[in-house]
Chains A and B, each alone.
Chain A
């Protein structure tokens, strides 16, 4: 865990300090910033390994910070919301966040989330570490995905989602299966995480995201990678 750096973007100094203490206790190196602009200034020259962004920020808001960091990097991002508002959560995920936490969160849960996002992509079955479907080529060991020979940039979580489904092509994975495998959530995890990540994945690998060729929705059951 040593050497892993986390960037906290939070305008409330007390929360920032307390969360820094928690994370330093876990052995992380922590950078704090109080605004989106400052966060981008810190992140651009030396990207952190995980970013924790509060949605409500003075100046540019958390969604925008998330989008701008996504343009620079595939780093895991956790959104922190002060509301259980469904729109905020989905908007955060669509802006590129990998997971979210609602205030007040349990510090143990925060640590667990960070650990889950930092896990290395490891397909359940190594046999399919190299998979070619139509125009899509996935090399799990290299961590690369190519569509029609062109390399596609996936975030850490998107890549793991694809690798998980590629481990058993044509098998239907329920949302709960994917939550457990990719996010390390139990059955009660939020299925919207899966839905939004599948949507984001499709925009990157599908020629027509509205009519997917590879990642198919199986109504009432879940998703599958179709060969």
Chain B
């Protein structure tokens, strides 16, 4: 009902606004799809990253351990070969120096009760459990934290001597590698999550594109273009949706057109008997003096209600023309002041105020519809507003405004939209004006006529503060823009 928009004074807007704020806004389908993709991406990347970390760690440490063990075994064998039974602790460094050295690899050697320590380690740093095991002459290896760093300690007893060979391998670089890997995997997970979200957004947009088409089609139908249909879709699921939608639209169109046709047919069928009635009543009116008082009263009733009924049928025909979308403008140049003078002739004189420069204002409009529009407003003023007090014309570059003012009680704010509805007579409207001869369609025809001209109509208080209503019709100066 864009055409009945009241001037924006924002009286009843805040209530709605608050309601909106307190209600949690549900996520849209697109946001939900994107979010699901993001969560999925995050989960997958976390699982992959975790598995990668665990496997890599195991792999790295295993290979490190087996390498260390191999070197330790080979060194222990060589040590055993070079060692003599009378060798003392002093001989050991020379032998030890000849053994294979690799980075992060230290060795300790026990000979009898004496130890050859490593540069940074002594026998007290070795895990006691391993020492215990070695004292049983069994080789072993154990991970241990030495000076806060992870290390692998391999102990091998030299079978022929009362001696043990210990290799201590620093595992810190493995941890460094794993740490770096962790950072990389974390970054990759974040990246994968973002990519998944973006992909989700794209997918949802693609998936919802047909839905957007459905939406525009639905809006077109709501806007009155009843013949709007969806094109067949390539996807079988969507095609079914399109079929159902089209089926619904077709049924709707058929039904609306059938209703409109029914109203039109009924009105047409009423034209013939009404013609007979009007002609017959006309004959009686011509011979009114020959009738008794009682018959004259009856004739007046008959005549008045026949006029009202005729107007109802004519208005219904017009409305059904609008409903069937058959209404078309028959545009011509309309000289506004002459036009208003001619239009008000039938309803009694109403002062017309034209701005000085608009004395010979000419607009392009459908003269018949415009005349009906103005006389409907004048009649409305007669019926509910004690008669129109003035017609005020106002014009600017965008359009022309014709205001009809009355001196009635005015129309309460909350009824201003409803009075334009069919067969609506505001609570204050129905009770006044005794012999109500309205059809209840006048103002709804006004709104249709105005809309067809591409204009709008609204009702407001009189600007001079006196009681009364002011109906304003605003028409674009170039009405042909509608056709």
Residues in chain A near residue B287, CB distance under 8 A: 25
Binding site for B on A (CB under 8 A): 12, 14-15, 17-19, 21-22, 25, 82-84, 86, 103-108, 110, 174-176, 186-188, 190-192, 220-221
Docked-complex contact B282 and A107, CB < 8 angstroms: yes
With A82-B272, A103-B274, A190-B368 in contact, is A22–B283 under 8 Å at CB? yes
Q: State A51–B278 Cα separation when bound (angstroms).
A: 20
Docked-complex contact A188 and B330, CB < 8 angstroms: no
Docked-complex contact B332 and A107, CB < 8 angstroms: no
Docked-complex contact B275 and A15, CB < 8 angstroms: yes
Partner of B371, one of A84, A103, A188: A188
Would you call B481 an interface residue if the criterion is a C-beta within 8 Å of the partner chain's C-beta atoms?
Answer: no
Q: State A61–B234 Cα separation when bound (angstroms).
A: 52
Q: State A18–B328 Cα separation when bound (angstroms).
A: 33
Residues in chain A near residue B277, CB distance under 8 A: 18, 104
Q: State A186–B367 Cα separation when bound (angstroms).
A: 12
List the 7 closest A-B pairs by CB distance, nearest first.
A107-B282, A187-B342, A18-B279, A104-B274, A104-B275, A103-B271, A14-B276
Residues in chain A near residue B343, CB distance under 8 A: 188
At the interface with chain A, which of B16-24, B34-42, B333-341?
B333-341
Partner of B282, one of A17, A108, A192: A108
Can you list 27 A-B pairs with a CB-CB distance of less than 8 A? A12-B276, A14-B276, A18-B280, A18-B283, A22-B282, A22-B283, A25-B282, A84-B317, A84-B318, A86-B330, A103-B271, A103-B274, A104-B271, A104-B274, A104-B313, A104-B314, A105-B275, A105-B278, A107-B282, A175-B332, A186-B345, A187-B339, A188-B343, A188-B368, A191-B332, A191-B367, A220-B333
With A15-B272, A105-B275 in contact, is A176–B338 under 8 Å at CB? yes
Report whether over half of chain B's contact residues are helix, strand or loop; otherwise say mixed: helix
Interface residues in B254-308 (C-beta closer than 8 Å to A)? 268, 271-280, 282-283, 286-287
Docked-complex contact A107 and B278, CB < 8 angstroms: yes
- Report the minimal beta-carbon distance from A105 to chain B, rounded to whole angstroms: 7
Docked-complex contact A103 and B280, CB < 8 angstroms: no
Would you call B310 an interface residue if the criterion is a C-beta within 8 Å of the partner chain's C-beta atoms?
Answer: yes
Residue of A nearest to B313 (CB): A104
Partner of A21, one of B283, B328, B339: B283
Q: State A86–B345 Cα separation when bound (angstroms).
A: 26
Residues in chain B near residue A14, CB distance under 8 A: 272-273, 276
Partner of A106, one of B278, B335, B341: B278
Residues in chain A near residue B332, CB distance under 8 A: 175, 191
- Report the minimal beta-carbon distance from A117 to chain B, rounded to whole angstroms: 19
Docked-complex contact A25 and B271, CB < 8 angstroms: no
Docked-complex contact A104 and B310, CB < 8 angstroms: yes
With A84-B317, A103-B272, A188-B368 in contact, is A22–B279 under 8 Å at CB? yes
Residues in chain B near residue A188, CB distance under 8 A: 339, 342-343, 367-368, 371
Q: State A6–B343 Cα separation when bound (angstroms).
A: 32
Docked-complex contact A86 and B328, CB < 8 angstroms: yes
With A21-B280, A187-B339 in contact, is A12–B330 under 8 Å at CB? no
- Report the minimal beta-carbon distance from A7 to chain B, rounded to whole angstroms: 16
- Report the minimal beta-carbon distance from A41 to chain B, rounded to whole angstroms: 25
Docked-complex contact A107 and B339, CB < 8 angstroms: no
Residue of B nearest to A176 (CB): B338
Q: State A223–B272 Cα separation when bound (angstroms).
A: 37
